[in-house]
Structure 1
Amino acid sequence: MTPLAITLLLTGLLLIAALAGYALYLWRRVWGRERQLADQQAQQHAALAADLRVLAGSLLQEQVPLIEGAIRIKVLLDNYDSNLGQDPRCQVFQLLFEATEQVPTHSAWKALDKTERRRHEANFSALELQHKAEARRSARWLLDEVLPKNSEAA
């Protein structure tokens, strides 16, 4: 083998080793980022579970209006686990959400005249009478069987 061929071979091997080292460095960064992302998603999932526990408990203790609690639970369930939101035991939250999604909120609610507000409030009362027991059963099911206990979420 000629000295030029040996030099080219050694240069090629050094280049391959350097590129392999750089590739390993990049892969370690990717794996670290994936771990970080998985940790972040787990923390978000645990926070959603904790929020759902608070809302379901508040709904059961009547600390939050039924309609408002059901809407908030539905939105959190969609973010926590979309399949869980479609579970028949949670359909009451979806039903109440759909029944009230056209109702104005915040400043638009305040801008409504009193007769329009009373009409919506009467609808809320009717929905509450019709679905209160089912919503309470669903909230209890979430607390007892679905959502991790506080110590499990941490």
Structure 2
Amino acid sequence: MDFSEWLMIGGLLLIFLLAGYAAWLWYQVWRRRQQRMQQTHERNQRLAGDIRLLARGLCEGQVPPIEGAIRIKVLLDNYDGPRRANLNLAIFETIYDATAHIPTHESWKALPAAQRRQHEEYMETLEQQHRDALHRAAQELRSGLI
């Protein structure tokens, strides 16, 4: 064999090695994509279960309406799975937006009592205004998003 034949064999060997490496890399990408899809599916199942649980708690009076609405809205924002087209969930957005200015956690504890009472009265008014719509939306979610 002369030099050009060795060069051609070496070139073909290099092509096969690079093709094998490219196939291995593509397999890694496919496997990671499958894992990500599985993780997303599992996350959506957990979120859907949490949403149903909160909705049931709202319907049964186990969760304060404002807190439940805010929690459900945040979970719905993170949920990107399938849902029924006829779900009317605007009330959760309405409650969330109406209470966005109210401090939480440590900021709430730091408020003077008079200011806390003002916010509590405002939340009670919101609850009374939206009680029926909130209950209807929670009833819809109680059976699931699909």
Q: TM-score, normalised by structure 1?
A: 0.86
Tell me what 2:58 maps to.
Answer: 59
Question: Does structure 1 conserve the Cα–Cα contact (< 8 Å) formed by 2:44 and 2:81?
Answer: no
Tell me what 1:152 maps to.
Answer: none
Aligned residue identity for 2:145: L
Query: Displacement of 1:128 after TM fit?
Result: 0.5
Q: CA separation in 2, counterparts of 1:97 and 1:138?
A: 14
Tell me what 2:139 maps to.
Answer: 140
Aligned residue identity for 1:147: L
SS at match of 1:89: coil
SS at match of 1:102: coil
Q: CA separation in 2, counterparts of 1:42 and 1:78?
A: 15
Find runs of 4+ consecutive structure 1 residues off by over 6 angstroms: none
Tell me what 1:73 maps to.
Answer: 72
Tell me what 1:130 maps to.
Answer: 129
Is 2:17 the counterpart of 1:18? yes
Q: CA separation in 1, counterparts of 2:81 and 2:122?
A: 27
SS at match of 1:6: helix
Tell me what 2:2 maps to.
Answer: 3
Tell me what 1:89 maps to.
Answer: 88
Q: TM-score, normalised by structure 2?
A: 0.91
Q: CA separation in 1, counterparts of 2:141 and 2:36?
A: 27
Query: Displacement of 1:81 after TM fit?
Result: 3.5
Q: CA RMSD in A?
A: 1.9
Tell me what 2:102 maps to.
Answer: 103
Q: CA separation in 2, counterparts of 1:63 and 1:69?
A: 9
Higher relative contact order (CA 8 A, sep 6+): 2
Q: CA separation in 1, counterparts of 2:30 and 2:16?
A: 21
Tell me what 2:45 maps to.
Answer: 46
Q: CA separation in 1, counterparts of 2:81 and 2:105?
A: 27
Query: Displacement of 1:130 after TM fit?
Result: 0.6
Q: Which segment drifts farther, 108-117 or 11-20?
A: 108-117
Unpaired runs of 5+ in structure 1? 149-154
Aligned residue identity for 2:43: Q
Q: CA separation in 2, counterparts of 1:13 and 1:107?
A: 68
Tell me what 1:36 maps to.
Answer: 35
Q: State percent identity of aligned pairs.
A: 45
Aligned residue identity for 1:38: M
Q: CA separation in 2, counterparts of 1:30 and 1:58?
A: 42
